[in-house]
Amino acid sequence: MTIIFSKKCEYGLQACLYLAAINTGAVIPSGEIAKQLKIPKEFISKILQSLTTSGLIYSKKGKLGGFSLAKDPSKIKLIDIVTAIDGLQLFEKCVLGFPNCSPDTPCPVHDKWGELRTKAYQMLTDETLDAFTEKTLRKIKNL
């Protein structure tokens, strides 16, 4: 169940975590990424292309083509991926969609959501892909 991120963003995070975890430096075909993560190939290909445009992923075309991280995993923060796919509106807009929600005119969950939003943003800003290598590999084995 998606609560915070779009499905596209979830898959983008998974793909980047996967590329960081295998960390071979080689380009990995989108079909292999899709197979390992149980994601539809066409969908992951589009996501990886958008991450390529943002400079987070490197793309090589052709029969031996595929994708790899464009930077060292220790240099890619989770927030970079979220920003590239979903943007930062999640951290700026009212979670209930009320217009003009603010500390002066709060929605019913403004204060509680604000605490969670701040913690989520801080975690995404602090953590880099390399911090989750082992957990990612364990999760993939269990898919």
Q: Are strands 66-69 and 57-60 parallel, antiparallel or unpaired?
A: antiparallel
- Let me know: does 68 contact 57? Beta carbons within 8 Å: yes
Task: Report the percent of the chain where pLDDT is more than 70.
Answer: 98
Q: What pLDDT, on the 0 to 100 scale, is given for residue 3?
A: 66
Q: What pLDDT, on the 0 to 100 scale, is given for residue 92?
A: 85
Q: What pLDDT, on the 0 to 100 scale, is given for residue 107?
A: 93
- Average pLDDT (105-118) is 91
Name the pLDDT band for 1 (thresholds 50, 70, 90): very low
Fold of 7-141: Arc Repressor Mutant, subunit A (1.10.10)
The verdict on pTM exceeding 0.85 is yes
- Compute, in degrees rounded to 10, the torsion defined by CA atoms 87, 92, 98, 102: -170
The ranges assigned to domains in the chain are 7-141
Name the pLDDT band for 4 (thresholds 50, 70, 90): confident
- Average pLDDT (127-137) is 93
Q: What pLDDT, on the 0 to 100 scale, is given for residue 2?
A: 53
- Average pLDDT (109-127) is 93
| pLDDT(23) > 80 | no
**CA distance linking residue 137 with residue 22, whole number of Å:** 8
Q: What pLDDT, on the 0 to 100 scale, is given for residue 143?
A: 81
Cβ burial of 107 (10 Å; 0-12, 13-18, 19+) is middle
Evaluate the CA torsion angle 120, 40, 17, 80 in order and state its sign.
negative
pLDDT digits (tens, 9 = 90+) for 50-100: 999 999 999 999 888 999 999 999 999 999 999 999 999 888 888 888 999
